[in-house]
Structure 1
């Protein structure tokens, strides 16, 4: 789901991966450093997320056999419908030289459709948050509108090393659409500061992501990736300011969420510094397929202290 880097650059970086820790890497394992750090070993609750339990719930049939529960059947119905969906990139539009991508999909019956609002809430309704740098508003990506600017940002050499999404627009479009047509566990957003697009975000359910296999995940953990787009906006301390604002916004709008997590590349010093400035604590180093990352956590219980 996400980009190659999972971080939010103070100067050039992103925050978490779009579905996988960075777009290319969410598979990870906690390294020796993490094991040695007892303070990082948060108590691992032996309670699976409600959505996970519902998805794999089983019932007993009349013949005494085991059968999938309603939620699992619903997921199966959606998966079947998704298998028949077609994503088509068409034509030769003006401007970027690429036409708009159109997505047609078979829609399962209402009773079997997973509700994205149950996974992250409606980010559209999160509204604007005031920051020392101005009013920030997260707006879910619209490929037709936002692909050219996101593609330009991703192809910036300073960004490429950490996000790994440099290349033609159609590859970046696929990365975006994989989230937009998914089940709502990851939402790509544009960050508008005083109405001007200047950052790209990925907000995702870390506890429902492959990343959860590699750190002590808790139900409703929310992950975040940030890319400060324009060079003129980097190196000004905006990373920490915006990360704090968005982390607090997620905690305010998602009462069930106790922590916001991220995993910037450990080499991306400005990004790690931005998270620390934003009130995240460094928890451990974790090995991901494409990088060694810093596991950063912002706790609801500590938000007014850090």
Structure 2
């Protein structure tokens, strides 16, 4: 799937598209959240309004929306710090995290995931010079996701239990890490 990958802020006009993506069985399996209009507003509206930390970005290829990227500084999310530190030890103040999804079934299985994650890492390190690393916890059962991260240069640095988003999942997570070149 050739084309330039870019990111733009999620807007409320994207909510119907995002709701469709979240309703897709393969997305919903791992992004286990309600996809009603009210739920999408509740979950994504605060980032748009700037009242919660982090960024929700639409991933585009040549101007066509293909996915969602969430990006934040981990220290801005105390619950994430609390979940990660028993597994990886102290989380540096310079660590960021990512989460992502590919929206349409027709865009999956074509190498987009690793390209999208690589572009997200490059963009994060470019936009946030203080960022020294990116940590991503992934449910161990979500093999496709942690393999995507590995293809994008991440390594598994620890495994441990974190409460899963989907109650059918075992709490076992792999924590993957990508370090900015020239640091640590």
Q: Which structure 1 residue ranges, 5 or more long, are not aligned?
A: 1-131
Aligned residues: 171
State the shift of 1:208 in Å. Answer: 2.1
2:70 and 2:104 mapped to 1: Cα distance?
A: 17
Deviations 1:57-85 (A, max 9, x none): xxxxxxxxxxxxxxxxxxxxxxxxxxxxx
Q: Would the aligned equivalents of 1:261 and 1:297 in 2 still touch at CA under 8 Å?
A: yes
Structure (1/2) with the larger helix percentage? 2
Tell me how far apart the structure 1 counterparts of residues 43 and 101 of structure 2 sit (CA, whole Å).
15
CA RMSD of aligned residues (A): 1.8
- Please tell me whether residue 136 in structure 1 is matched to residue 5 in structure 2: yes
Unaligned segments of structure 2, at least 5 residues: 165-170
Written as runs of structure 1 = structure 2, the 5 A alignment for 1:102-251 is 133-143=2-12, 145-183=13-51, 185-209=53-77, 210-213=79-82, 214-215=84-85, 216-251=90-125
Structure 1 residues 287 and 178 mapped into 2: Cα distance closer, same or farther (>3 Å)? farther
Question: What is the aligned partner in structure 1 of residue 179 from structure 2?
Answer: 299
CA distance in 1, matches of 2:173, 2:146: 10
For residues 177 and 149 of structure 2, what CA distance do their matches in structure 1 show?
Answer: 9
Select the structure that is richer in strand: 2
Q: Does residue 276 in structure 1 map to residue 150 in structure 2?
A: yes
Cα distance between partner residues in 1 of 2:34 and 2:98 = 20
Q: How high is the TM-score relative to the length of structure 2?
A: 0.86
Change (3 A) 1:160 1:302: farther
- Following superposition, the deviation at residue 166 of structure 1 comes to 3.5
How far does the alpha carbon of each residue in 1:246-293 deviate from its partner, in whole angstroms, 9 at most, with x for none? 101111221111001211221111111000000011111232222432
Larger Rg: 1
Q: 1:189·1:200 contact (CA, 8 Å) conserved in 2?
A: yes
CA contact under 8 A between 1:141 and 1:190: conserved in structure 2? yes
